[in-house]
């Protein structure tokens, strides 16, 4: 890879947290603002519900199971304050009857009887149940409320997830469409520099990461932070001293989290880079499978891949080591918090300054408190990935290697182009990469109706020259004039519509022949379609195929020979009915019969049209009015076949060297 090809070298993208990136996401969230607001509202409700559940437990314990010891109901010296009593209202005859049976146990005080909790085991179960009937009823009521809250929690969680995922999916959809559209508009130069695998990652997993960022970010900010704050508030309200004792562990938790993020950051980044590299390598392998198998590069390739894979494994292990310290550490701290609650809170229960219910609720709350912290590692990973993905997506979206299109001239109209009268190269220089000129000072012109051929050794720059005419690339110096105006003054659609390029290695899309020839749209009327197929000499091929025109081609037309592929490309050119034909003859060997078919089809195609033909077979050249002879990026001779032969120069020698060239005609 050349040093200037690593446009998106992942390793360079280090600063994963850039809030600016989040701000750039705003245009994508804006259309779904309502859904997001809904989602956030639901999250707040869910959090309140989550906070309510331990509180209901506390109520159940404190009110009905083990009520806190009431301080002495009156100032009379009586029962010591630290004892718990079951109070019984003697107005209820059933209760009074039970109390009557246990005269030695109950203390009667006016209309209320009290039995110490320590004496309760002396009652028969049936009597006990009778005395605690109200408590049981209250407990049942609270259990029912608990159940309702849990069901509500489920329903809210379900709705929240649906709303959020819906918004996330929509955003991902929009972002992917925009990215796809943008990539399609980029100049070819961009694709020379960026490997396919990397771009594929952009459109697939990077977008997926953004989606996860969106969903987990909302849940992190709104669910976890609100939950943490809520728990802290409730705990402080329940018993601020116990809350503060419990929070004593938090600095350790913070230290652990910071230590984790410091270590994890590098490792997560390395892993990310390696995954991208594996993707790139893999897609290149698939693309070049033919060459790999042909040149028996499998072992070599596997060795290189194994090295990459091993590095990935090592980084994976480092990540696991960090996680393996962090996760249990958080677990230990959670248990320490519980122990603190049991130790300090338990003591307060003993000296009656804390209810048992509150203690139980504290334990539940602290468990809830650590849950988001335990997920922190995962969230951290998502956030890091997503930030890096966002950065790379925006890097592509910000890439402006589009061919600059002209701005509207002052008159308000682009130059018109009804007929291509003349194309003129005016001292054109061109290179793909700095320092390696491909075309040097090329000047020639091509008038309407003319056929000009370009010949030259391999690598002379013929394909490059022909690619400049539809403005696949821009010259690095000099101008290309179309009807006397610089090509760059026209919007590229204007002239591309009027030309058809038959490429050296024609690219066929996976799809049917019909779709390839007629651009996917329904195509012309059947009679016209047949005419085009016949003119392009495709009848033979179409007749041989099982489904005729509707036969599916393998990906990039791999089931079609290169001769047939060129016939299909000619038919495609016919279908567009262009004014200018740019034909780059295939270099691969084509049998003489197919060659003849191509020759005929090409002649038909060029009739009445302007044509620039890159020819490898001199038989193609003879009909041209003019021949440009190229060598190392320069046009070194030009003239008709007869003139060039008479000159006995480069063309003459080229001609002599060609097998079966025969005597000059």
CB atoms within 10 A of CB 265: 16
CA distance 456 to 615: 8
Our finding on whether 458 is near ligand UTP (CB under 6 A) is yes
Phi, psi for residue 297 in degrees, rounded to 5: -95, 5
Nearest CA to 473 out of 525, 514, 433 is that of 433
Q: Which of 309, 441, 463, 483 binds ligand UTP (CB under 6 A)?
A: 463
55 touches ligand UTP by CB under 6 A:
no
Residue with Cβ nearer ligand UTP (148 or 192): 192
**Footprint of ligand UTP on residues 595-634 (CB under 6 A)?**
none
The one segment of 260-268, 319-327, 409-417, 451-459 that binds ligand UTP by CB under 6 A: 451-459
Q: Does residue 434 interact with ligand UTP by CB under 6 A?
A: no
Give the interface segment with ligand UTP, choosing from 457-465, 518-526, 551-559, 640-648 (CB under 6 A).
Answer: 457-465
Are 281 and 308 in contact, with CB atoms under 8 Å apart? Answer: yes
Q: Taking the complex as a whole, how short is the minimal distance between the CB of residue 189 and ligand UTP, in angstroms?
A: 9
Of 169, 210, 198, 192, give the one whose Cα is nearest residue 396: 198
How many residues are recorded in the chain? Answer: 665
Residues 612, 463: Cα–Cα separation, whole Å: 11
Considering the complex, state which of residue 235 and residue 614 has its C-beta at the smaller distance from Mg ion.
614
CB of 429 to ligand UTP, least distance (A): 13
How buried is 1 (Cβ within 10 angstroms: 0-12 exposed, 13-18 middle, 19+ buried)?
exposed
- How many whole angstroms separate alpha carbon 74 and alpha carbon 60? 26
- Smallest distance, ligand UTP to C-beta of residue 566, A: 14
Which helix (H) or strand (E) segment is 62 a member of?
none
Cβ distance to Mg ion smaller for residue 112 or 463: 463
Q: Could you say which of Mg ion, ligand UTP, none residue 432 binds, taking C-beta under 5 to 8 angstroms by partner kind?
A: ligand UTP
Give whichever of 283 and 587 is closer to ligand UTP, judged by the CB atom: 587
Within 10 Å of residue 401's Cβ, how many Cβ atoms?
15
Shortest distance, position 542 Cβ to Mg ion, whole Å: 28
| Minimum separation from the CB atom of position 464 to Mg ion (A) | 8
Of residues 1 and 299, the one with the C-beta less far from ligand UTP? 1
Question: Based on CB atoms, which residue is closest to ligand UTP, 197 or 456?
Answer: 456
Instruction: Work out what residue 347 binds among Mg ion, ligand UTP, none; the CB cut-off runs from 5 to 8 Å by kind.
Output: none
Q: Which of 137, 147, 151, 192 binds ligand UTP (CB under 6 A)?
A: 192
Residue 469 makes contact with ligand UTP by CB under 6 A:
no
SS3 340: helix
- Tell me the CB-side half-sphere exposure of residue 263, using CA atoms within 13 A: 16
Among the listed ranges 13-21, 462-470, 548-556, 638-646, the one in contact with ligand UTP (CB under 6 A) is 462-470
First vs last Cα of the chain: how many Å apart? 47
- Rule CB under 5 A: say whether 562 interacts with Mg ion: no
Per CB under 6 A, 459 contacts ligand UTP: yes
Whole-angstrom distance, CA of residue 33 vs CA of residue 37:
6
Residue number with the shortest CB distance to ligand UTP? 463
Interaction between residue 461 and ligand UTP (CB under 6 A): yes
How many whole angstroms separate alpha carbon 231 and alpha carbon 50? 10
Please give, one letter per residue, the 3-state secondary structure of 231-277.
HHHHHHHHCHHHHHHHHCCHHHHHHHHHHHHHHHHHHHHHHHHHHHH
Does residue number 389 form part of the binding site for ligand UTP (CB under 6 A)?
no
Q: Is residue 166 a contact partner of residue 41, using CB atoms and an 8 Å limit?
A: no
According to the binding rule CB under 6 A, does residue 462 interact with ligand UTP? yes
Among 432, 444, 650, 652, binds ligand UTP (CB under 6 A): 432
The number of beta carbons lying within 10 Å of the beta carbon of residue 471 is 19
Q: Which of residues 500-529 bind ligand UTP (CB under 6 A)?
A: 504
Stretch that binds ligand UTP, among 61-69, 253-261, 461-469, 591-599 (CB under 6 A): 461-469
192 binds, among Mg ion, ligand UTP, none (CB under 5 to 8 A by kind): ligand UTP
Q: Which of 178, 208, 399, 463 binds Mg ion (CB under 5 A)?
A: 463
Is the CB of 261 or the CB of 463 nearer to ligand UTP?
463
| E strand or H helix at 86 | strand 85-89
Considering the complex, state which of residue 425 and residue 490 has its C-beta at the smaller distance from Mg ion. Answer: 425
Q: How far is the CB of 463 from Mg ion (least distance, A)?
A: 3
Q: Judged by CB under 5 A, which stretch of 100-108, 335-343, 362-370, 461-469 contacts Mg ion?
A: 461-469
DSSP E strands: which ranges in 370-463? 422-431, 437-447, 451-456
Closest contact distance (angstroms) between CB of 462 and Mg ion is 5
Tell me which residues in 258-287 interact with ligand UTP (CB under 6 A).
none
* Smaller CB separation from ligand UTP, 2 or 15: 2
Q: Closest by alpha carbon to 397, among 36, 95, 25, 145? A: 25
Return contacts of 251-254, CB within 8 angstroms, 24+ apart.
252/333, 253/330, 253/333, 253/373
Residue 619, binding choice from ligand UTP, Mg ion, none, Cβ under 5 to 8 Å by partner class? none
Q: Running DSSP on this structure, what letter comes out for residue 352? A: T
Distance CA 130, CA 140 (A): 15
Q: What is the CA radius of gyration of the chain?
A: 41
Which residues sit opposite 112 in a β-bridge?
89, 109
458 touches, from Mg ion, ligand UTP, none (C-beta below 5 to 8 Å by class): ligand UTP
> Using CB under 5 A, which residues numbered 492 to 511 contact Mg ion?
504
Q: Could you tell me which of 429, 469, 396, 400 has the C-alpha nearest to residue 176? A: 396
Q: Which residue lies nearer to ligand UTP by CB, 131 or 618?
A: 618
Q: Is 587 in the site for ligand UTP (CB under 6 A)?
A: yes
* Contact between 464 and ligand UTP per CB under 6 A: yes
Q: Provide the binding-site residues for Mg ion, judged by CB under 5 A.
A: 463, 504
Binding residues vs ligand UTP (CB under 6 A)? 192, 432, 438, 456, 458-464, 504, 587
């Amino acid at each position: 890879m050349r040093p200037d090809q690593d446009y998106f070298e992942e390793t360079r993208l280090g600063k994963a947290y850039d809030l600016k990136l989040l701000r750039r996401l705003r245009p994508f969230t804006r259309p779904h603002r309502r859904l997001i607001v809904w989602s956030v509202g639901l999250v707040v409700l869910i959090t309140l519900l989550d906070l309510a559940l331990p509180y209901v437990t506390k109520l159940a314990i404190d009110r009905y199971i083990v009520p806190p010891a009431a301080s002495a109901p009156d100032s009379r010296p009586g029962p010591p304050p630290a004892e718990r009593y079951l109070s019984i209202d003697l107005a209820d005859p059933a209760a009074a009857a039970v109390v009557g049976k246990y005269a030695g146990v109950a203390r009667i005080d006016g209309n209320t009887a009290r039995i110490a909790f320590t004496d309760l085991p002396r009652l028969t179960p049936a009597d006990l149940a009778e005395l605690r009937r109200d408590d049981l009823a209250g407990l049942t009521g609270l259990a029912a409320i608990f159940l309702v809250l849990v069901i509500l929690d489920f329903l809210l969680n379900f709705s929240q997830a649906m709303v959020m995922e819906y918004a996330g999916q929509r955003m991902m959809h929009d972002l992917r469409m925009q990215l796809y559209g943008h990539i399609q508009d980029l100049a070819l130069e961009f694709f020379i520099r960026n490997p396919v695998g990397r771009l594929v990652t952009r459109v697939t997993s990077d977008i997926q990461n953004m989606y996860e960022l969106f969903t987990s970010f909302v849940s992190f900010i709104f669910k976890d932070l609100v939950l943490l704050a809520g728990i802290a508030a409730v705990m402080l309200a329940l018993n601020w001293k116990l809350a503060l004792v419990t929070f004593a562990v938090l600095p350790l938790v913070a230290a652990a989290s910071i230590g984790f993020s410091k270590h994890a950051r590098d490792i997560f980044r390395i892993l990310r880079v390696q995954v991208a590299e594996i993707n790139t390598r893999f897609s290149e392998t698939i693309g070049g499978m033919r060459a790999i198998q042909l040149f028996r590069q499998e072992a070599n390739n596997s060795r290189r891949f194994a090295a990459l894979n091993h590095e990935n494994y090592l980084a994976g292990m480092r990540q696991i080591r960090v996680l393996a310290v962090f996760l249990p550490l958080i677990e230990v701290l959670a248990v320490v918090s519980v122990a603190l609650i049991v130790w300090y809170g338990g003591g307060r229960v003993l000296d009656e300054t804390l209810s048992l219910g509150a203690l139980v609720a504290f334990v539940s709350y602290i468990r809830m408190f650590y849950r988001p912290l335990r997920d922190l590692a995962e969230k951290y990973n998502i956030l890091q990935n997503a930030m890096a993905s966002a950065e790379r997506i925006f890097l592509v979206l910000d890439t402006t290697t589009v061919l600059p299109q002209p701005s509207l001239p002052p008159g308000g109209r682009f130059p018109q182009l009804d007929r291509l009268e003349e194309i003129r190269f005016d001292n054109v220089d061109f290179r793909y990469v700095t320092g390696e000129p491909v075309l040097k000072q090329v000047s020639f012109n091509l008038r309407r109706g003319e056929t000009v051929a370009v010949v030259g050794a391999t690598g002379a720059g013929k394909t490059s020259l022909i690619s400049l005419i539809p403005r696949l690339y821009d010259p690095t110096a000099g101008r290309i004039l179309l009807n006397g105006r610089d090509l760059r003054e026209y919007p590229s659609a204007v002239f591309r519509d009027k030309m058809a390029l038959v490429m050296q290695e024609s690219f066929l899309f996976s799809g049917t022949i019909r779709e390839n020839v007629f651009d996917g749209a329904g195509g012309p009327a059947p009679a016209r379609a047949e005419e085009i197929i016949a003119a392009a000499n495709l009848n033979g091929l179409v007749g041989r195929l099982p489904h005729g025109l509707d036969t599916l081609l393998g990906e990039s037309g791999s089931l079609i020979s290169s001769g047939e592929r060129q016939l299909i490309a000619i038919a495609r050119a016919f279908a567009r009915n262009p004014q200018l034909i740019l034909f780059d003859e295939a270099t691969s060997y084509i049998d003489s019969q197919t060659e003849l078919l191509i020759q005929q089809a090409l002649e038909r195609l060029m009739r009445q049209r302007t044509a620039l033909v890159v020819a490898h077979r001199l038989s193609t050249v003879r009909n041209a009015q003019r021949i440009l002879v190229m060598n190392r990026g320069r046009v070194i001779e030009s003239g008709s076949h007869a003139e060039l032969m008479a000159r006995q120069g480069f063309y003459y020698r080229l001609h002599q060297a060609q097998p079966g060239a025969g005597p000059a005609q």
